[in-house]
Structure 1
Amino acid sequence: MPRFRTSLIAFLGLFLAPLPTADAFGPVRSPVQQDAEARLMNEFSRFAALTDGTVGIAVRDLSSGEMLSFNGDTLFPMASTYKVAVAGKILALLDHGQLGLDEQLPRLGRSMPVRALLDMMLTQSDNEATDALVARAGGPAAVDGWVRALGIKGLRVDSNTAQLLARAKVLSGGFGDEAAAEARLSEGERNARDMPNLAFATDPRDTSTPRAMGELLSAIRQGKALKPSSTALMLSIMDRCKTGKMRLRAMLPPGTQIAHKTGTLNGLGNDAGIVTLPDGRMFVISVFVMKDHRGHVIRDRIMAEAARAAYDYFLFAPERRTV
Structure 2
Amino acid sequence: MEKYTEWKKEIEKIISEVKGQVSVSFYDLDKSTSFSIDGDKKVLSASMIKLLILAELMRQVSEAKLSLSQKITLTDSMRVGGDGILKVLDSGHQFSLKELAKLMIVVSDNEATNILIDLLTMENINALGRNLALKETFLQRKMMDSNAKEKGYDNYTSSDDIALLLRLIYEGKLINEEASEIILDILLQQQQSERLQRYLPSDTKIAHKCGDLDNLENDGGIIWINDRAYILVVLTGAMPNLECRETIGKISKYIYNKIKAIHPLLL
Contact 1:85 1:147 in 2 (8 A): yes
Say whether residues 1:255 and 2:203 are aligned partners: yes
Aligned twin of 1:281: 228
Alignment match of 1:125 (pick from 96, 108, 118): 108
Per-residue deviation, 1:101 = 1.2
Aligned twin of 1:310: 255
Paired with 1:43 and 1:204, the residues of 2 have a C-alpha distance of: 36
Aligned twin of 1:136: 119
Paired with 1:235 and 1:50, the residues of 2 have a C-alpha distance of: 34
Per-residue deviation, 1:205 = 4.5
Aligned twin of 1:158: 140
Per-residue deviation, 1:220 = 1.9
41-50 vs 55-64, which deviates more? 41-50
Per-residue deviation, 1:166 = 4.5
Paired with 2:184 and 2:137, the residues of 1 have a C-alpha distance of: 20
Per-residue deviation, 1:312 = 2.6
Contact 1:106 1:132 in 2 (8 A): no
Say whether residues 1:221 and 2:188 are aligned partners: no
Equivalent runs, 1:20-35 vs 2, <5 Å: 29=1, 34=2
User: AA paired with 2:249?
Assistant: A
Paired with 1:148 and 1:103, the residues of 2 have a C-alpha distance of: 27
Per-residue deviation, 1:50 = 4.0
Paired with 1:67 and 1:77, the residues of 2 have a C-alpha distance of: 23
What is the root-mean-square deviation of aligned Cα atoms in Å?
A: 2.1
Paired with 2:136 and 2:205, the residues of 1 have a C-alpha distance of: 27
Alignment match of 1:291 (pick from 235, 238, 252): 238
Paired with 1:220 and 1:145, the residues of 2 have a C-alpha distance of: 18
Choose between structure 1 and 2 for higher RCO, CA contacts under 8 A separated by at least 6 residues.
1
In the superposition, the TM-score normalised over structure 2's length comes to 0.85
Aligned twin of 1:176: none
Per-residue deviation, 1:41 = 1.7
Contact 2:169 2:181 in 1 (8 A): no
In the superposition, the TM-score normalised over structure 1's length comes to 0.71
Paired with 1:316 and 1:112, the residues of 2 have a C-alpha distance of: 45
Equivalent runs, 1:1-323 vs 2, <5 Å: 29=1, 34=2, 36-107=3-74, 108=78, 109-110=91-92, 111-137=94-120, 139-163=121-145, 165-167=146-148, 205-243=154-192, 245-278=193-226, 280-292=227-239, 295-317=240-262
- Post-superposition Cα deviations, 1:57-106, rounded to whole Å, max 9, x if no partner, equal 10111222211111111111000000011111101111111111121124
Q: 3-state DSSP class of the match of 2:144?
A: helix
- Post-superposition Cα deviations, 1:253-286, rounded to whole Å, max 9, x if no partner, equal 33211011111111111001111122x1211111
Contact 1:48 1:302 in 2 (8 A): yes
Q: 3-state DSSP class of the match of 1:237?
A: helix
Paired with 1:301 and 1:166, the residues of 2 have a C-alpha distance of: 32
Contact 1:157 1:205 in 2 (8 A): yes
Contact 2:39 2:160 in 1 (8 A): yes
Q: 3-state DSSP class of the match of 1:162?
A: coil
Distance change in 2, residues 1:240/1:159 (3 Å): same
Paired with 2:68 and 2:136, the residues of 1 have a C-alpha distance of: 30
Contact 1:287 1:303 in 2 (8 A): yes
Where do 5+ consecutive residues of structure 1 fail to align?
1-28, 170-199, 319-323
